[in-house]
Amino acid sequence: MIAIIFGSFIPMLLLGVPIALCLVLMTIFVYVDIGDPRLFLQIPQRMFTSTENMLLLAIPFFIMAGEIMNRAGITDRLMTLSSSLVGWIRGGLAHTNIVSSMFFAGITGSAVSDTVAVGSIMVPAMKKNGYGEDYSAAVTAASSVIGPIIPPSIPMLIYASVMNVSIAGLFLGGMVPGVLVALALMVTAYIVAVRKGYGERAPFVGVVRLIVAFIHGAPALLLPVIIMGGILGGFFSPTQASAVAVMYGLAIGFLFYRKLKLSDLVPILSHTVKATAMIMFLMACAKTFSWLVTYFNLVEHVTIAFVSLTENKLVFLLLVNVIYLVIGMFLDMGFAIIVLGPLLAPIAYKYGVDPIHFGLITCTNLTIGLATPPFGLVLFAACGVSKVSLSRISRAILPFIAAELVVLLLITYLPALTMYFPRLFGYA
C-alpha cells in the first residue's frame, strides 16, 4: 500500500497534477488494489461529509471580510499609522513594512494578500528611498507570514475543523507568536539597515500626528478586537463572528472610509467564491486520504516509527519542526495541515503536548514555510510585486527566515509563551 501511495502521488505531483486530484486518484488506486468495489461509493460520500462542519462557514466570511477591508482604502491609513509608530527607527521603511503586515494580519489572515497589498505600496517606496530592491521584496515576503498567525487565521480554522481543537484557543494563542515574529524581523531589519546604510534615522512625527494616524486607522484595527471580544464574551460563535466581520467591513467601507462602491461587490464576491472553492475542494479530496490513514492504521505505524527514533519529547518536537519546514516549502499549507495533522497530532498528545500548543506549532511552522526558499508561495507573490528574480529574493530573505526560526524554537520549547492566554480564558 505504501508503494502505491508514493508510486502514484509523487509522480503525479511532479507532473503538475493539482494536489487535490492527486489525493483522490491516489485513493482510487489503493481501492483498486484492495479489490472491493463498494469502497468506491465512499469517495463522494466522504468528500461531501467533510465540508459539513459548521466551523468551515467562517472561511468564506473571513475571506470576504479581508477583501472588503482591502478595497475600503485601509492600506494607506494602516501604513501611515505604522510609519508614525516606527518610521523614526533606523531603517524606518522596513519597520513600517513589518508593522503594516502585523496590522494587516488582523484583517485578512492571508500571507499572499498581505504580500500583494503591502508590497505594492511599500516596495516602490523603499526602492525610491535607497533600499535595495531585493531587500525590499524580502522584507515584504518575510513579514507577510505574520498574516496566518495573528487571528483571524484561515489555517487555524482549517486545523480546528480537522483536529477538533478550540478555534478560540488557537486564536488566543496566535497573538504572542505573531508579535514575536514581528519583533524578531524588526531587530533583523535594524541590523541589516545599520550594516548596509539603509534609511537614516528620522525624527519622531510627534504625538499629535500619531494620534491623528491612530484615529484614521482605528476602525480597521477594531476588527480583530470585535472578533476576539465577541467570541470570548460569548456574544457569538467563531462562525457568527466571521459574518459580523463582513457586516462591520461593509459598514466602515461604505459609511466611514467611503471608498467602497457597489461595483466593488462583484469582484469581492468573485474572489471569495474562488478562494473558498479551492480550500473546500482540497479539504473534500483530503478526506479520502484520511480514510487511508484509518483503514491502514497509519497513525500507529508512524507512532512506532517516532518512538523507535526517540522517546524524548524535545527531540520529537524538533523532528516535527524539520518535517513541517520541509513540507511547507513545497506543498500547500492547507494540504499539509489536513494530511499531516491527523498523523502527527495523536503522537504529540502521547508525548504530553497540549492540542492547542501543537496546533500553534503546526500553523506557525507551515506559515514560515510559505516564505522559505526555494518554493515558498509568498516568494512568488513578492517576485510579481517587485519584479525581482526569485534567486535574489531567496538570498536576501535568509536572515529574516533565521529570525523566524528562532521564534519558532521559542514557541516550541517554551509553551508558556503561547499557552498563557488560552489558559487564562479556560481553553487549555
pLDDT in tens, 385-400: 788 887 888 889 999 9
Query: What long-range pairs does 252-259 form, CB within 8 A, spacing at least 24?
Result: 252/72, 252/219, 252/220, 253/68, 253/69, 253/71, 253/72, 253/73, 256/219, 257/72, 257/73, 257/74, 257/77, 257/219, 259/71, 259/72, 259/73
> How far apart are alpha carbons 356 and 191 in whole angstroms?
34
The percent of residues in the chain predicted with pLDDT above 90, rounded, is 11
pLDDT of residue 360: 93
The answer on pLDDT for 369 being more than 90 is no
Residue predicted with more confidence, 104 or 184: 184
Average pLDDT over the chain, rounded to whole?
81
> How far apart are alpha carbons 167 and 59 in whole angstroms?
12
User: Which pTM was predicted?
Assistant: 0.79
Taking residues 215-221, report their average pLDDT: 79
Hey, is 75 helix, strand or coil? helix
Whole-Å CA distances, 69 to 113, 206, 224, 291 = 11, 28, 12, 39
Taking residues 189-194, report their average pLDDT: 89
Taking residues 295-323, report their average pLDDT: 76
pLDDT of residue 13: 67
> How far apart are alpha carbons 103 and 81 in whole angstroms?
10
Query: Of 132-141, 301-310, 419-428, where does mean pLDDT reach its minimum?
Result: 301-310
The tens digit of pLDDT for each residue in 220-248 reads: 778 778 887 887 777 878 788 888 888 88
The answer on pLDDT for 1 being more than 70 is no
Query: Of 102-106, 263-267, 400-404, where does mean pLDDT reach its minimum?
Result: 102-106
pLDDT of residue 355: 93
The tens digit of pLDDT for each residue in 162-181 reads: 888 988 899 899 889 989 99
pLDDT range class, residue 414, cuts 50, 70, 90: very high
The answer on pLDDT for 93 being more than 80 is yes
pLDDT range class, residue 366, cuts 50, 70, 90: confident
The tens digit of pLDDT for each residue in 244-298 reads: 888 888 888 888 878 888 888 899 889 888 878 877 777 777 767 666 666 666 6
pLDDT of residue 163: 87
Highest averaged pLDDT of the listed ranges 103-117, 367-381, 412-426: 412-426
> How far apart are alpha carbons 98 and 79 in whole angstroms?
10
The tens digit of pLDDT for each residue in 134-156 reads: 888 899 889 888 878 888 788 88
User: What backbone phi and psi angles, to 5 degrees, belong to 425?
Assistant: -100, 10
Residue predicted with more confidence, 104 or 3: 104
pLDDT of residue 409: 94
> How far apart are alpha carbons 187 and 198 in whole angstroms?
14
Using the CB atoms, write b or e for 86-98: b if 16+ within 10 Å: bbebbbbbbbbbb
Taking residues 186-210, report their average pLDDT: 82
Cell of 308: 523507535
Q: What is the DSSP string of 323-377?
A: HHHHHHHHS-HHHHHHHHHHHHHHHHHHTT--HHHHHHHHHHHHHHHTTSTTT-H
> How far apart are alpha carbons 312 and 307 in whole angstroms?
9
Residue predicted with more confidence, 2 or 335: 335
> How far apart are alpha carbons 272 and 181 in whole angstroms?
28
Most distant CA pair in the chain, distance: 74
> How far apart are alpha carbons 346 and 307 in whole angstroms?
13
